């Protein structure tokens, strides 16, 4: 099968670029003495996760209970849900996985959440590993790294039956905010990386001093693709980062390129769409409409990205089309403007690099693996939705 034979829109994974991204990330993790626990929400593909494992990845990170179930069903038995799980439904399903021998940990960051987890696992006669989520600057979930009450919270969790504190987890998601006024993009990545790493180490040292964390045993888990692109490990009073959880690095996307965390040449995922219609305005601007809209690309934008994805001139070289801009999306249409005239005709394929690869993947049932124009494999995307497949709960 060749790319022009595929249904459109379709997501293509360039196998050579993917392999290079996987190798580079594993090498960076190895050089820094950390376990790579890739975030599988990016690809939701057991086939791709096996490639990560074959290269040395230790366990997987997932975002949802449904993803944990899907990857456990595919034979992955060491999972971290990098988010709080607090409902009876979610905790019950994780307990079901644990009862089946899957090593599955999740996050806690509040007393009610931790108490709910403790009650459920205790009632089931199980012990769950939990990671205390720490906010190192992102401002989402997590106990702030400088919160004076953090040791009291960790002490509370440590005393709960049915739970065991494995360590601390943070996500340097503020790396996506881009540079501050006058800051260079590379300096912004370095700053976010240091904040994520050093703030987590700071809290670990404080907890260590309070006898609540053991440097020899505690997991210290960090990770985002932008911060990982600049990662160097550090030691503080016996504590080091033990684990990294980037996800997006397998594909990269227009957002990583804008931040300076990757080049367009490293972007392994493209969306191929077909030109449905072409019109010329009085001023000579050509407007193309392709069959990839919000439902294939999502309407995500982000720091430094113009429009809704990069229109490629050459899919093989990843050279962008300097004139074509993906300026708007409706559900099933992408609106491309080409001042001065287009090189694409009706029915032609257009290759786009999405702004956010993880969200694009989540819209699709499968990924097509390509070597140039040839489709060499087809990978199923699993773990969609909040419930397990076939699970009526």
Nearer to ligand PLP by Cβ, of 109 and 286: the residue is: 109
Nearer to ligand PLP by Cβ, of 82 and 163: the residue is: 82
Closest contact distance (angstroms) between CB of 205 and ligand PLP is: 22
Per residue, what are the HEC states of 258-295? Answer: HHCCCCHHHCCEEEEEEEEEEEECCCCCEEEEECCCHH
Using CB under 6 A, which of the segments 85-93, 115-123, 220-228, 362-370 binds ligand PLP? 220-228
Q: Using CB under 6 A, which of 59, 113, 247, 307 touches ligand PLP?
A: 247
Q: Using CB under 6 A, which of 113, 151, 208, 246 touches ligand PLP?
A: 246
Alpha carbon 377 to chain centroid, angstroms: 22
Half-sphere exposure of 356 (CA within 13 A, CB side): 15
Closest contact distance (angstroms) between CB of 140 and ligand PLP is: 8
Is-contact 75 118, C-beta < 8 A? no
Is-contact 143 153, C-beta < 8 A? yes
Q: Is 245 in the site for ligand PLP (CB under 6 A)?
A: yes
Using CB under 6 A, which of the segments 23-31, 51-59, 206-214, 239-247 binds ligand PLP? 239-247
Closest contact distance (angstroms) between CB of 304 and ligand PLP is: 15
User: Residue 335 class from Cβ within 10 Å (0-12 exposed, 13-18 middle, 19+ buried)?
Assistant: middle
Q: Is 255 in the site for ligand PLP (CB under 6 A)?
A: no
Using CB under 6 A, which of the segments 24-32, 192-200, 240-248, 377-385 binds ligand PLP? 240-248
Closest contact distance (angstroms) between CB of 348 and ligand PLP is: 32
Q: Using CB under 6 A, which of 45, 52, 248, 266 touches ligand PLP?
A: 248
Is-contact 324 37, C-beta < 8 A? no
**Residues in region 272-311 near ligand PLP by CB under 6 A:** none
Q: Is 383 in the site for ligand PLP (CB under 6 A)?
A: no
Q: Using CB under 6 A, which of 53, 171, 252, 351 touches ligand PLP?
A: 171
Q: Using CB under 6 A, which of 17, 28, 37, 39 touches ligand PLP?
A: 39
Nearest CA-CA partner of 387 in 39, 76, 81, 89: 89
CA-to-CA separations, 25 to 242, 340, 360, in angstroms, rounded: 15, 41, 22
Closest contact distance (angstroms) between CB of 359 and ligand PLP is: 10
Nearer to ligand PLP by Cβ, of 256 and 321: the residue is: 256
Tell me the per-residue interface mask from 44 to 83 with ligand PLP, x by CB under 6 A, - otherwise. Answer: --------------------------------------x-
Closest contact distance (angstroms) between CB of 187 and ligand PLP is: 19
What are the start-end ranges of the H helices in the chain?
Answer: 15-31, 46-54, 65-73, 88-99, 111-123, 150-158, 185-209, 225-228, 254-259, 294-297, 357-362
- Residue 368 CA to residue 14 CA, distance in Å, equals 9
Closest contact distance (angstroms) between CB of 245 and ligand PLP is: 4
Nearer to ligand PLP by Cβ, of 142 and 151: the residue is: 142
- Residue 305 CA to residue 284 CA, distance in Å, equals 25
Q: What angle do CA 116, 122, 125 make, to 5 degrees?
A: 145
Q: Using CB under 6 A, which of 223, 309, 334, 354 touches ligand PLP?
A: 223
- Residue 42 CA to residue 381 CA, distance in Å, equals 10
Backbone angles phi, psi at 64, to 5 degrees: -135, 165
Nearer to ligand PLP by Cβ, of 195 and 291: the residue is: 195
**Residues in region 337-376 near ligand PLP by CB under 6 A:** 358
Count of Cβ atoms closer than 10 Å to residue 145 Cβ: 22
- Interface with ligand PLP by CB under 6 A: which residues? 39, 82, 171, 223-225, 245-248, 358
């Amino acid at each position: 099968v060749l790319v022009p034979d595929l249904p459109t829109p379709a997501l293509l994974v360039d196998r050579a670029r993917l392999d290079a991204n996987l190798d580079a990330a594993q090498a960076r993790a190895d050089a820094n003495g950390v376990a790579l626990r890739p975030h599988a929400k990016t690809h939701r593909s057991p086939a791709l996760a096996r490639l990560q494992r074959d290269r040395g990845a230790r366990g997987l990170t997932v975002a949802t209970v449904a993803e944990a179930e899907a990857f456990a069903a595919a034979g992955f038995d060491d999972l971290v849900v990098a988010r709080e799980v607090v409902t009876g439904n979610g905790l019950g399903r994780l307990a079901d996985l644990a009862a089946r021998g899957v090593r599955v940990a999740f996050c806690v960051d509040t007393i009610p959440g931790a108490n709910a987890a403790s009650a459920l696992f205790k009632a089931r006669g199980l012990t769950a590993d939990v990671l205390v989520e720490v906010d190192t600057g992102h401002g989402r979930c997590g106990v702030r790294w400088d919160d004076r009450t953090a040791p009291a919270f960790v002490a509370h969790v440590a005393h709960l039956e049915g739970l065991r504190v494995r360590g601390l987890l943070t996500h340097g998601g503020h790396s996506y905010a881009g540079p501050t006024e006058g800051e260079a993009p590379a300096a912004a990545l370095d700053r976010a990386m240091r904040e994520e790493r050093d703030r987590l180490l700071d809290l670990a040292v404080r907890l260590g001093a309070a006898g609540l964390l053991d440097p020899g045993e505690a997991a210290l888990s960090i990770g985002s693709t932008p911060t990982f692109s600049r990662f160097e490990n550090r030691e503080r009073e016996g504590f080091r980062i033990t684990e990294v959880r980037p996800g997006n690095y397998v594909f990269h996307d227009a957002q990583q390129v804008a931040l300076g965390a990757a080049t367009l040449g490293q972007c392994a995922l493209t969306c191929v769409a077909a030109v449905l219609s072409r019109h010329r305005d009085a001023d000579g601007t050509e407007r193309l409409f392709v069959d990839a809209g919000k439902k294939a690309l999502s309407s995500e934008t982000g720091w430094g990205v113009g429009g809704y994805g990069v229109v490629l001139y050459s899919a093989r070289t990843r050279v962008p089309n300097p004139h074509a801009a993906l300026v708007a999306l409706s559900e099933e249409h992408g609106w491309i403007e080409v001042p001065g005239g287009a090189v694409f005709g009706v029915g032609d394929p257009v290759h786009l690099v999405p702004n956010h690869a993880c969200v694009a993947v989540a819209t699709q049932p499968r990924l097509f693996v390509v070597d140039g124009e040839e489709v060499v494999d087809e990978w199923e995307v699993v773990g969609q939705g909040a419930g397990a497949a076939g699970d009526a709960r």
